[in-house]
Structure 1
Amino acid sequence: MRKLLLFGLAIITLASCNTKPARYTQNSPEIDVVKKHMANYNSKNYDTSIYADSSKTFLNTKKNAMTPSEAMEYHKQTDANYSSRGFKAEDQEYEMVVTDDGETWVNCWLDWKGTLAGTGQEIEIPVHLTYRFVEGKVVRELGYWNPTEIVLALQKIEAQKNSSEEEEKL
């Protein structure tokens, strides 16, 4: 009986030592990479070092992927619309998951705030970004947000600009 009890304890001990990698976590090297990427975005440091050469970025689309350099150029071009912009420091959520297929993804839910250069109007938008990692590098980036408020405000600025130009011609 004593041998059976010791054998059972040994099996339990060995079974408890069999640790599997975390399938979900809120702390990982990949999350740290994404947080650094967000800090770079906020400081307008357009660094592509987190991306694999073959990485594809999709922002509010499933088509027309951008390369890392094209994604940074996209951000530079849209920056012209804002006197300030960036992700807010509070209420950011990050998680890393390993899918059933063994893919590593970092998801983040952030609040973005921008001030339009043309009017001083402040706009806040919730944003969801997700990054697939392979060997420590981003191979796929997906970003989703509702741009309607920004589009309407920029259209209004453009309409006022065109109206002013027409008045000057008259």
Structure 2
Amino acid sequence: MICMADEYQGKYKLLKPVFLIGFMGAGKTSVAQYLANVLGLASIDADEYLELMEDRVIADIFAEDGEDYFRDIETRHLEELAKRKLVRLIATGGGVIKRPANIEIMHSYGYTVYLGVTADEAAERIPNTESRPLFKNIDVARKTVLERMPLYEAAADAYVETTGRKVPDICREVALRLIDSGVLVKVS
């Protein structure tokens, strides 16, 4: 098999931000980082950005201020990232689709790729499930994936299944989707 780095020689640019959405463990951050490295693009993890800007980890924000407050600041920071001049791959948090305003931001400013994954595969991929409340009970995680699936599908411009696949293979398909859509172009 040809290495993706060999297959996509040269520099590429995004014509608008690309938002990677999906359940935790779908590979959003890994895919963003891999594509950024191979294609010479910028990437950012929206949750890490939020934690940096708020100077607190998300678990503390939830514990101290609740989910509604967290979703408010998530929306604010998502819009900040979407409006930045540097066009980039943006790995979002798994619950970003819970707010219609976030879906509107992603549709207004960019292109959204839904990375699909089962709860069981996600649990296998996440090294420390103890820090993830949904994975203290796999049945709750399965239920959450099913509840969120219609929201992810409605928000997505493209869908890529990740279950049973490695990051380079997933990235190859994402890159092809972005090229086909005209969002990712090769620069001379």
| Structure with max Cα Rg | 1
Structure 1 and Structure 2 fold alike (TM over 0.5): no
Question: Between Structure 1 and Structure 2, which shows a larger proportion of helix residues?
Answer: 2
> TM-score range with shorter-chain normalisation?
under 0.3
Scaled by the length of structure 1, the TM-score of the pair is 0.22
Question: Between Structure 1 and Structure 2, which shows a larger proportion of strand residues?
Answer: 1
